[in-house]
Amino acid sequence: MFLAWSAFWAVVAAVGLVVLQSLGLAPNELLWLAKRVLGVYAGGVALWYLLLLTVDAWTDGELRRIGALVADAVQYGLSPRIETSVLVVSLFSAVSAVLVGHFDPALIIFAAVSVVASGYAAVWPKRTLPPPRLPDLRPTPAPPVAPSPAPAPEPEVETVPAEPAPVPQHLKQKEFFWQYYSDPVWRHAFGIETKVTVDLSELEQKRSAERVGDVKRWGLEYVARGIGPTLASLAHALREVSRTRELTPLQEAALVLSFAQSAIEYATDAETTGAAEYPKYPVETVEDEIGDCEDKAILAAAAMRYMGYDATLLDLPGHVAVGLAFEPVGTPGALAIEHGGRVYYYCEATAQGAWIGEGPPDLAGPIEVIPTPEG
């Protein structure tokens, strides 16, 4: 796509130069320099295309990934609404005008249009997620006890500040702090802080549940049936962070993933439970603040599904990850799996800062989608 747009704008620029020369609207010095700049640009595009055709296969697609990475870096750093090739052509035109020292009317109009387009991209509101109305499964306080008869009035004493209302005994508040990366290119990191209410009755119920060893049933048992008051509290907290920071849908999904990656400590089941395999429900992982690959993946997938995303679990040899069905994420070399007519992007729930579509470098073996029906 980058090469196609580059070629298109190179042709547009060439046609513009021909029109300017035929109408005599630009001095010969400017046209001479512009033609050479355009020639270098077109030659670079053609050379890159030839390299992709002849050499890229020998580098296992590395050249194509580098080109996409450069394009994404420019778009993330400036604005994803401005096509990269337009920025490149605009830059060449501005350099030409400065070197020649002549600003003719046609160039001024072109520059004005570029400024207006850049200003529009800078101030226009970003595409925000029209948040679906999340079902309110959050824990609720116990019903109030009927008041006792009013006691006899006591002598007035000096008032003191009221203490905060205590959390009901069947609820527990936990605070989480973690790092969130808002994009995969510049990797801007933000410290996130949020509170989650754990429903202790739900926790007790899930603790006593028998563990399901069949990986193919984890989607139903732990993701779909793991959605409860505690996970709802987490999802509402993450949605509030997303609204405050005006995140895009993709960034919000990455925020959920980052919670599992960074807010939950990694440890194997053998270290925490003494069992070789002990999958946890989301409420258990939130309460323990620790888990292995399947615990983190179950937590992230359940939260994503509760927030309206099509997420499921991915089964790999000796590992479990999250699959997120989404529009193209724009990450070079993004790892995706097609299943049931949907494309699921690989989401690593254990590596801190791993972006959506970023697979492990030592990935070996097939990736299978674990179906996640409604609970």
Residue 159 within a domain? no
CA distance 374 to 136: 17
At residue 8, the 3 state secondary structure works out as helix
Residue 134 within a domain? no
- Closest by Cα among 293, 307, 262 to 370: 293
Angle at 245 between CA 332 and CA 80, to 5 degrees: 35
Pair (218, 364) in one structural domain: yes
> What does the buried/exposed string (b/e) look like for 47-56 if buried means 16 or more CB atoms within 10 Å of the residue's CB?
ebeeebeeeb
Quick one: pLDDT at residue 157?
44
Q: Is the pLDDT of residue 295 over 90?
A: yes
Residue 316 within a domain? yes
Residue 133 within a domain? no
Pair (96, 190) in one structural domain: no
343: buried, middle or exposed (CB in 10 Å: 19+, 13-18, 0-12)?
A: middle
Choice between 46 and 110, residue whose per-residue pLDDT is larger: 46
Q: Domain range for residue 311?
A: 171-370
Residue 147 within a domain? no
CA distance 231 to 300: 10
Residue 233 within a domain? yes
pLDDT digits (tens, 9 = 90+) for 44-56: 667 766 776 666 5
Q: State which of 123, 145, 163 marks the end of a domain.
A: 123
Choice between 253 and 95, residue whose per-residue pLDDT is larger: 253
Would strands 290-291 and 265-266 be described as parallel, antiparallel, or unpaired?
A: parallel
CA distance 322 to 359: 11
Quick one: pLDDT at residue 19?
74
Pair (237, 354) in one structural domain: yes
Report the DSSP beta bridge partners of residue 172.
198
Residue 47 within a domain? yes
Pair (115, 206) in one structural domain: no
CA distance 91 to 13: 13
Pair (191, 299) in one structural domain: yes
Choice between 86 and 267, residue whose per-residue pLDDT is larger: 267
326: buried, middle or exposed (CB in 10 Å: 19+, 13-18, 0-12)?
A: buried
CATH number, domain of 356, equals: 3.10.620
**Lowest mean pLDDT segment, chosen from 127-131, 185-189, 238-242, 252-256:** 127-131
Q: Is the pLDDT of residue 76 over 50?
A: no
Quick one: pLDDT at residue 47?
74
pLDDT digits (tens, 9 = 90+) for 232-266: 999 999 999 999 988 888 889 999 999 999 999 99
Residue 59 within a domain? yes
Quick one: pLDDT at residue 74?
47
Q: Is the pLDDT of residue 272 over 80?
A: yes
Number of Cα atoms under 13 Å in the Cβ half of residue 95: 12
Pair (181, 298) in one structural domain: yes
Q: What is the DSSP letter of 68?
A: H
**Lowest mean pLDDT segment, chosen from 71-75, 169-173, 187-191, 331-335:** 71-75
Q: State which of 93, 123, 153 marks the end of a domain.
A: 123
Q: Is the pLDDT of residue 279 over 60?
A: yes
Pair (70, 182) in one structural domain: no
pLDDT class of 24 with cuts at 50, 70, 90? confident
pLDDT class of 82 with cuts at 50, 70, 90? very low
Angle at 253 between CA 247 and CA 258, to 5 degrees: 100
Q: What is the mean pLDDT of residues 179-184?
A: 84
Percent of the chain scoring above 70 in pLDDT: 56
> What does the buried/exposed string (b/e) look like for 133-143 if buried means 16 or more CB atoms within 10 Å of the residue's CB?
eeeebbbeeee
Quick one: pLDDT at residue 326?
84
Q: In which region does residue 115 sit, left (phi positive, over 0), alpha (psi from -120 to 50) or beta (all else)?
A: alpha
Q: What is the mean pLDDT of residues 18-25?
A: 71
Pair (119, 181) in one structural domain: no
Q: What is the DSSP letter of 226?
A: T
- For the chain, give the mean pLDDT: 76
Pair (187, 302) in one structural domain: yes
Quick one: pLDDT at residue 197?
95
pLDDT class of 99 with cuts at 50, 70, 90? low
pLDDT class of 130 with cuts at 50, 70, 90? very low
Amino acid at 141: P
Q: Which two tokens stand for residue 156?
A: 């007035």
State the Cα torsion 34-38-39-41 to the nearest 10°: 140
Quick one: pLDDT at residue 75?
45
Pair (21, 104) in one structural domain: yes
In the numeric block, the tokens 């400024």 are attached to: 115
Q: How far is CA 373 from CA 101, 221, 260, 282, 365, in A?
A: 66, 9, 22, 17, 25
- Per the structure, how many domains does the chain have? 2
Pair (89, 177) in one structural domain: no
CA distance 330 to 259: 22
pLDDT class of 320 with cuts at 50, 70, 90? very high
**Lowest mean pLDDT segment, chosen from 39-43, 228-232, 237-241:** 39-43
pLDDT digits (tens, 9 = 90+) for 148-162: 455 555 545 444 455
Pair (255, 320) in one structural domain: yes
Q: State which of 123, 152, 180 marks the end of a domain.
A: 123
